[in-house]
Amino acid sequence: MTTTLPAPTGTTRPPAVRAHRGAPLRDVVTMTRRETRRTLRSVDGLVTAFALPVLIMIVFVVIFGGAISGSTGGDYIDYVVPGVLVMCLGMNSATAAIAVAQDMTSGTIDRFKTLPILGPAPLWGHVVASVVRNLTSAAVVILAALAMGFRPEAGLGGWLGFAGFAALSVLTFTWISAALGLVLSVDSSQSVNMIFLFVPYLSSGFVPVDTMPGWLHGFAEHQPFTPIIESVRGLLMGTPDGGTILTACVWLLAFLAASVVSGSLLYRRRTAR
Amino acid sequence: MNDPMIAVRGLRKAYGRTDVLRGVDLTVRRGEIFALLGPNGAGKTTTVNILTTLVRPDGGTATIAGADVVHDPAAVRRSIALTGQYASVDEFQTGEENLVMMADLAHLPRRAVRRRAAELLERFDLADAARRPVGTYSGGMRRRLDLAISLVADPQVLVLDEPTTGLDPASRSRLWEVVRGLAADGTTILLTTQYLEEADRLADTIAVLAEGRIAARGTAAELKALVAGDHVRIAFSDAASLAAARTLPVAGLDAAETDEKDLALTFPSAEPVRAIRDVLDQAETRDLAVVGVSVVRPTLDDVFLALTGPHTLSGVPHTDARRGDTPGSDTPDTDSPSTDRPATEEALR
């Protein structure tokens, strides 16, 4: 802090570097790169994206697995991996809420707003980065599951179907989180992941619904996580059920549409003058 | 070329029932450093936000380089850059990555991005820290990076909203150096500040914003001329001398303010050197123990207090009769440097 800055030389401006108009794709790519760095450079981001999902699976398979396995008819690991996967995809997407809330409450968004960029590019950057991060995380979880004895029976079609279905799920979860990040403070946005942590427990993801108390059956059978997790289970175990997948897709597309519309409107209002 | 770079006429903005701006007029010439000085709540940031297209005004007009902020915000954004009150740089990215990102978002030609980033890092003395995450930077380094980021697209107008708030004195004067260099290179600079010294040292023109209006404008010297002239301050060694001195037949001494703590008298004088000689001569005759004399010149603090404080001096064009009906706007600035008269005391022997 003791060196001096070079004195201004002369009165001529440096050769002007003119800004160019309109490059929407470049804007979104730039924003995505930023969000990816945010994840890769924070211990917290890395733990949430990669370590936590694997830990959760270890807890279910190794610790609870022995006690639970009797009631699921087969290896518990084959039963529980789809539930853990969906839960992790959701919790991972919830990080987008925190990142969005941080951007909206710091001076960062004002700076972006004074740039000649595509308006919603910062928001889309959060979404694209989250989808990429989540699909990578899903791959890590699956590899860990395979190492622990998970034996999926899906063929190539099943895997492709799973990839597409996972992408749709992650996109939906991320948009829900991003929309919440636009209305919540940085502190409250930290609890968005609770939605994705607890609601899946009340589904068929971890234990069959008929082992739950009767008053929970109604909710557990009809809440969206049940068809979503059943779809993943069907696709990975080679027993896909068209009806279940359709129900899951309807749920996901409905949530996606609602959160894209409300998120985009909220973003426009928050960045309006 | 002679058109003003920033032209603001009758700018008004209210939030709910609170009138924040009540008709602000400003003209900033090309290449000028223009300071908007005012206490917290005076409307500085609102003005900045309107000029940078972040907020839409309720009335009046504002143009930047000829483009209207309401009707042609895209053109305004191409010629203006904002450095906000808080350094808005990403801590998880390195200095270089922050710059490259903003150069990308400013749509510089891809080939030019890295070169421009390197150039700015060099210019702001951040080349050594370029590959370190900003989380490890000091406050002064962050502000310099923030400023460098504002300059990626070579804006014609740079708006600095309280650029040195929270910086230590060394970092502050270093940032001033940078800002002067930019102005010398032809960038027009509008800065807001609540530090009088900053306005005094940096700005070509100062406008004092109080209660949503421009209360006065001019060079630092012109503004200082608005308040009463020089004062003489005489300090004594004991209370008896102080009391006796009050009755000396010296011009202006009857209007003296007594400082019991420092045992000093301060009084206005049109001829300070003569007043001091008179006091010293008579004090010697009567055996009064003088321990210090000085001439006190008005500082911008005095101007600022006169314009924004509870007492309005006569001769100052401040005409707002509705003082106090705007919550928060009548609070004198508590963060400004000493409101005493510290500036130009000249000891005489």
Question: Nearest residue on chain A to B79, judged by CA atoms?
Answer: A19
pLDDT digits (tens, 9 = 90+) for B43-70: 888 999 899 888 899 999 999 999 999 9
Q: What is the pLDDT of residue A15?
A: 37
- Which of B48, B107, B120, B182 is the best mutation test for A, with the most CBs of A within 10 A? B107
- Which of A108, A124, A273 is the best mutation test for B, with the most CBs of B within 10 A? A273
Q: How many CB pairs under 8 A join A and B?
A: 125
Where does B264-347 have alpha helices with state H? Answer: 272-286, 300-308
* pLDDT averaged over every residue in chain A: 85
Q: Do A114 and B54 touch (CB under 8 A)?
A: yes
3-state SS assignment for residue B21: strand
DSSP, res B221? H
Q: Is B280 on the interface with A (CB under 8 A)?
A: no
Question: Nearest residue on chain B to A45, judged by CA atoms?
Answer: B92
Instruction: For residue B109, list chain A residues with Cβ-Cβ distance below 8 A.
Output: 17, 20
In percent, the amount of chain B with pLDDT more than 70 equals 86
Q: What is the pLDDT of residue B309?
A: 63
Give CA separation, A198 vs A189, B10, B157, in Å.
16, 56, 52
CA dihedral sign of residues A268, B43, B149, B126: negative
Give CA separation, B92 vs A147, B132, B133, B146, B291, in Å.
33, 9, 6, 15, 58
Give CA separation, B42 vs B20, B212, B312, in Å.
7, 6, 16
Instruction: For residue B108, list chain A residues with Cβ-Cβ distance below 8 A.
Output: 17, 19-20
Question: Nearest residue on chain A to B106, judged by CA atoms?
Answer: A19
C-alpha B89/C-alpha B85 separation (Å) is: 12
Whether the ipTM is more than 0.90: the answer is no
pLDDT digits (tens, 9 = 90+) for B69-112: 999 988 898 888 888 776 678 899 999 999 999 999 888 898 89
Q: Is A154 left (phi over 0), alpha (psi -120 to 50) or beta?
A: beta
Which of the four pLDDT bands, split at 50, 70 and 90, describes residue A273? low
Q: What is the pLDDT of residue A66?
A: 74
Q: Is B181 on the interface with A (CB under 8 A)?
A: yes
pLDDT digits (tens, 9 = 90+) for B221-245: 888 777 767 888 889 988 888 888 8
Q: Nearest C-alpha of chain B: how many angstroms from A248?
A: 37
Residue B28: beta bridge partners? B6
Q: Do A30 and B107 touch (CB under 8 A)?
A: no
Q: Do B108 and A17 touch (CB under 8 A)?
A: yes
Instruction: For residue A11, list chain B residues with Cβ-Cβ distance below 8 A.
Output: 184-186
